[in-house]
Amino acid sequence: MDNNKLSEVQREIFKLKDEKHWPIIPYDVANAIIAEVRAHNCKNSLELGGCVGCSALNFLSGMGDEGKLTTIEATPERAKILRENVIRAGVADKITVLEGDAKTLLPTLTGPFDCVFIDAMKREYLAYLLAIEPQLQSGCLILADNVQSHASKMQDFLEYMQNSPEYETHIKTLGGGLLLAVKI
Ligand SMILES: C[S@@+](CC[C@H](N)C(=O)[O-])C[C@H]1O[C@@H](n2cnc3c(N)ncnc32)[C@H](O)[C@@H]1O
C-alpha cells in the first residue's frame, strides 16, 4: 500500500468537499479513527456511510497493509466516485464498496468484523447496530460519528450503547462527537 497515494486522493477530496457538498469527517476525527483502529489492531472493518472514500482511506492508514474494509454507500453518484477513488488510491484489493441501503445489506454480510464505523443516516444508527450485532465478537470496536451534534436524532442508539452491559462506551468531544465502544 502506497501511503502517498492515499494522501493524494484524500487531499483531492478535501479540495472539492465544499463545492460538492460532501459531508466528510474533519481532520481531528480522522486522526482519532486512525489512532483507535491502530491501537485495537483492527484488520477487518466495516463502514456505514462511505461517501466518496475519505474516511475509508483513513481506516486503511490505521489498519496497515493487512487491513480490509467493507464500506456501504447508498447514494449512487457518491458510490461511483468512491469506487473511482479506491482504484486511484491503489487499494481496490483492500476496500470492498457496496452500493445500497445499509439496513438491507447488513444482514447479507459475513463477518466477523473487528471494527464498525457508523456514519450514515443519523436516525438509523441503532437499526444498523442491531442488524450487524450478530457478526460482532468480543473486543470489536464500535465508532459512531456526530453523536453530540445529532444527539436528538439518535437518543435510542445512545441509550442502548450507554446502558447495555455488552459495551464499554465513551464519547470524545471531537468534531460532532465521536462515540467509542468496545464489545465486552
Ligand atoms: C456523513 S456521510 C459519510 C462520510 C464518510 N464517512 C467520510 O467521512 O468520508 C454519510 C453518508 O451516508 C450515506 N447514507 C445515508 N443513508 C445511508 C444508508 N441507509 N445506507 C448507506 N449509506 C447511507 C449518505 O449518502 C452519505 O454519503
| Distance of alpha carbon 5 from alpha carbon 92, whole angstroms | 13
Q: What is the mean pLDDT of residues 20-42?
A: 96
Per-residue pLDDT, 1: 86
Per-residue pLDDT, 111: 86
Q: What is the mean pLDDT of residues 6-21?
A: 94
Per-residue pLDDT, 84: 98
Q: Please check the confidence at residue 19 and state whether its pLDDT lies above 90.
A: yes
Q: What separation in Å is there between the alpha carbon of 177 and the centre of ligand 1?
A: 16
Residue 138 pLDDT grade (very low, low, confident, very high; cuts 50, 70, 90): very high
Q: Return the best residue to mutate from 121, 125, 128 for the ligand 1 pocket (most ligand atoms within 8 A of CB).
A: 121
Establish if 110 belongs to a structural domain. yes
Average pLDDT score, the chain: 96
Q: What separation in Å is there between the alpha carbon of 3 and the centre of ligand 1?
A: 24
- Conformation bin of residue 67: beta by default, left when phi > 0, alpha when psi is -120 to 50: beta
Q: For ligand 1, atom 7, name the residue with the nearest CA.
A: 24
Establish if 158 belongs to a structural domain. no
**Cell output for 79:** 458510490
- Number of domains composing the chain: 1
Looking at ligand 1, which atom is closest to the CA of residue 101? 20
Beta bridge partners of 182: 141, 168
The residue segments making up the domain with residue 91 are 3-17+25-138
| Distance of alpha carbon 69 from alpha carbon 43, whole angstroms | 8
Q: What separation in Å is there between the alpha carbon of 66 and the centre of ligand 1?
A: 25
pLDDT tens-place string over residues 147-159:
999 999 999 999 9
Residue 107 pLDDT grade (very low, low, confident, very high; cuts 50, 70, 90): very high
% residues pLDDT > 70 (the chain): 100
Looking at ligand 1, which atom is closest to the CA of residue 120? 12
Q: What separation in Å is there between the alpha carbon of 73 and the centre of ligand 1?
A: 6
Per-residue pLDDT, 6: 92
Neighbours of 85 (CB within 10 A): 24
Helix (H) / strand (E) element for 182: namely: strand 178-183
| Residues framing ligand 1 (Cβ under 6 A) | 23-25, 48-49, 51, 54-55, 72-75, 78, 101-103, 119-121, 124
Establish if 162 belongs to a structural domain. no
Per-residue pLDDT, 98: 98
Establish if 38 belongs to a structural domain. yes
pLDDT tens-place string over residues 59-93:
999 999 999 999 999 999 999 999 999 999 999 99
**Cell output for 53:** 472514500
* CA 117 to chain CA centroid, nearest Å: 3
Domain containing residue 112: CATH number: 3.40.50.150
- CB-CB contact of 60 with 67 (8 Å): yes
Establish if 164 belongs to a structural domain. no
| Distance of alpha carbon 52 from alpha carbon 47, whole angstroms | 12
